[in-house]
Amino acid sequence: MLNYKIEGGHLPVVTCYLEPGQTLVSESGAMSWMSPNMHMETNSGGGVKKALGRLFSGESLFTNEYSAQGGTGMIAFASKFPGSIIPYEVSAGNGIIVQKKGFLAMEKGLDLSVYFQRKLGKGFFGGEGFIMQKITGNGLIFLEIDGHCVEYTLGVGESIIVDTGYLAAMSETCTMDIQQVKGAKNIFFGGEGLFHTKVTGPGKVYIQSMPIWQIAQELIPYMPTPSTSSDGGINIKLGGN
Give the pLDDT of residue 73.
97
Q: Alpha-carbon distance 177 to 99, whole Å? A: 15
- Which pLDDT band, with edges at 50, 70 and 90, does 237 fall under? low
Residue 130 has pLDDT above 80, yes or no: no
Quote the pLDDT of residue 220: 81
Each domain of the chain, given as residue ranges in start order, spans: 3-219
Q: pLDDT grade, residue 199 (50/70/90)?
A: very high
pLDDT of 6 reads: 97
**Nearest of 139, 138, 144, 94 to residue 2 by alpha carbon:** 139
CATH of 3-219, one of 3.40.120.10, 3.60.160.10, 3.90.1150.10, 3.10.25.10: 3.60.160.10
Check pLDDT > 70 for residue 45. no
Which element (helix H / strand E) includes 214? helix 212-219
pLDDT above 70 coverage of the chain, percent: 73
Handedness of CA 59, 144, 79, 111 (dihedral sign): negative
Which tens digit of pLDDT belongs to each residue from 88-102? 999 999 999 998 888
Q: Is the peptide bond before 221 cis (omega within 30 degrees of 0)?
A: no
Confidence band of 191 (pLDDT split at 50, 70, 90): very low
101 closest CA partner among 83, 119, 126: 83
Does pLDDT of 161 surpass 90?
Answer: yes
pLDDT of residue 187: 43
Q: Identify which has the larger pLDDT, 218 or 4.
A: 4
